[in-house]
Amino acid sequence: MKHQPPPPTRRWGVVAAVVALVLLACLQIQYQHLKVDLGKAGFASATQENNAIPSRNRIRWGTARIRKAATGADSLPRGIVQRHSDMSLRPLWKDDAASTHKNKNGDHSALLAMAVGISQIKNVDTMARKFLKDNYAVMLFHYDGNVDGWRHLEWSDKAIHILAHNQTKWWFAKRFLHPDVMAIYDFIFLWDEDLGVENFNPRRYLDIMVSEGLEITQPALDPDLSTDIHHRITIRNKMTKVHRRIYDNRPSMNCSDESKGPPCTGWVEGMAPVFSHAAWKCVWHLIQNDLIHGWGLDMKLGYCAQGDRTEKVGVIDSEYVVHQGIPSLGGPSLSSKTPRRSLDLRTHIRRQSSAELEKFKERWNRAVREDEGWRDPFDS
C-alpha cells in the first residue's frame, strides 16, 4: 500500500514548533549575554543563595528588601539604618562641654546659615554671637575663599565652615542643607551677611513664629536705617507684632483685603527668610540646582507654607533688622568708591540674575502645564 504524506496542516504545525524552539534558544542566548553586559553576573549566585533559604525565611527576606528598597538600605538590618544627620560637631575624645545646638530652655533648635566674605566679618561676628548665645548652630558659606581669616574669633571652632569660591547662599543651601541633614533643626535661618541685628533676638523671634502659627517668615526692616528696601511689605509696622499683608491703593500694586498672593500677602523677601522644618522640606526641592541667584523663588515660597499662605507666611515686626544693602560676590558697598572691575562684576551679576528669573518663570509654567494631576491651591 502506498505511504500517504502527512496532511498539510500537520506539516505546518511541525514547522512552527521548530521555529519556536529556535527563537526560544536565541532569546535565551541573548538573555545570557545581556546579563553579562549589565554586570549582573552575581544574579545566579544570589538566586542560589535564596533557594537555599527555607521558604518561610525567603518570604520574610523578600518583604524586607521591598520595605527598605526606597532608602537604598535593603542589604542592612532595619535597626542599624540612620536616616537623618545634623551639623553638631563631634569631639575626637569625650567632651562634656560639647554643644548640642539645642536651645537652653529646650524649646527650639535652629540653624543660621549665611554666605559670607571676610569684608563683612565684623557684622557677621555680631550676628553669629546672637545665635550662639542661645546655643543655635551657625554655618558659614565662604564665597571668597578666606576661611583662615575667621580663626581668631572665639566662636569660630563652634561654627561649620564650608568653602566654595563665588557661590551664592542658594547654591550652598541646595548642596549642604538637605532636609534629611536638617531634620534635627526646627527652624532654618537662610540669611544674607549684611543684616544689622541690634534689635533682634532669635529666641523671642522663634517664640513668635510658634505662637502665631507661622511657617515662613522674615524680620521686618527698620525703615529709618535700612538702605535697601524693595517691597513695602517688608517695612516694620511699629504698632503690630506681626503683619501678613499690606494695603496699597496704587494701580501698580492695588493691595487690599481681596488680595490673595504676593507681594501683597503670603510673601517674604529672599534676604532674610526663616523656615520651619516642614516648610524647608518643600523649599529645598523648589530651589533649582543651576539657578543660583534665587530670583523668582520668593514669589513661590508660599506654596511651601503648609497651608494657606495668607495665614502661614508673615513679617515679624517686634524683632526687626537693618538691611545695609552691601552687595556681595561683586564688590564693596555701592556707597563707597568702587573700582571699575567691581562695577563691571555687579553689572554681569544683575544680568545673570535677571536671566535666571525668566528661566525660573518658564520652568514653573512648563511644570504646571505638564503635571496634569497638580492643582494650584491658590488659584481662585
pTM of the shown model: 0.76
346 shares its domain with 300: no
339 and 347 in contact (C-beta within 8 Å)? Answer: no
Per-residue CA distances from 132 to 36, 187, 193, 207, 320 (Å): 56, 14, 16, 17, 18
From the CB of residue 358, how many other CB atoms can be counted at a distance below 10 Å?
11
CATH number at residue 156: 3.90.550.10
Q: Is 17 among the domain residues?
A: no
Residues 352, 204 share a domain? no
The number of CA neighbours under 13 Å toward the Cβ of 178 is: 8
Do 167 and 254 belong together in one domain? yes
Cβ pair 231, 328 in contact under 8 A: no
Domain extent for 365: 330-371
Same domain, 249 and 344: no
Number of domains in the chain: 2
Same domain membership, residue 255 and residue 184: yes
353 and 278 within one domain = no
In a domain, 126, yes or no: yes
User: Are 294 and 355 found together in one domain?
Assistant: no
| Residue 295 in domain | yes
Residue 79 maps to a domain: no
- For residue 43, what is its C-alpha cell? 544574579
Give domain status of residue 276, yes or no.
Answer: yes
Cβ–Cβ under 8 Å, residues 232 and 249 = no
| 310 & 366 share domain | no
Asked if residue 211 and residue 264 are part of one domain, the reply reads yes
337, 317: one domain:
no
Per the domain annotation, does 149 fall within a domain?
yes
Task: Give pLDDT tens digits along the chain (380 positions).
Answer: 555 555 655 666 666 777 777 677 766 766 666 555 554 444 444 444 444 444 444 444 444 444 445 567 788 888 888 877 877 778 888 765 554 445 555 578 999 999 999 999 999 999 999 999 999 999 999 999 999 999 999 999 999 999 999 999 999 999 999 999 999 999 999 999 999 999 999 999 999 999 999 999 999 999 999 987 888 999 999 999 999 999 998 888 889 999 999 999 999 999 999 999 999 999 999 999 999 999 999 999 999 999 999 999 999 999 999 999 887 775 554 444 555 555 577 788 889 999 999 999 999 999 999 999 999 999 86
How many angstroms separate the CA atoms of 375 and 237, rounded? 35
Domain assignment of residue 55, yes or no: no
Using DSSP's 3-state secondary structure scheme, residue 323 falls into strand
Helices (H) and strands (E) in the chain, counts: 9, 9
Are both 180 and 213 inside the same structural domain?
yes
Q: 169 in helix, strand or coil?
A: helix
Residues in Cβ contact with 327 at an 8 Å cutoff, skipping those fewer than 6 apart: 333, 334, 346
**Are residues 268 and 345 part of one domain?**
no
In a domain? residue 62: no
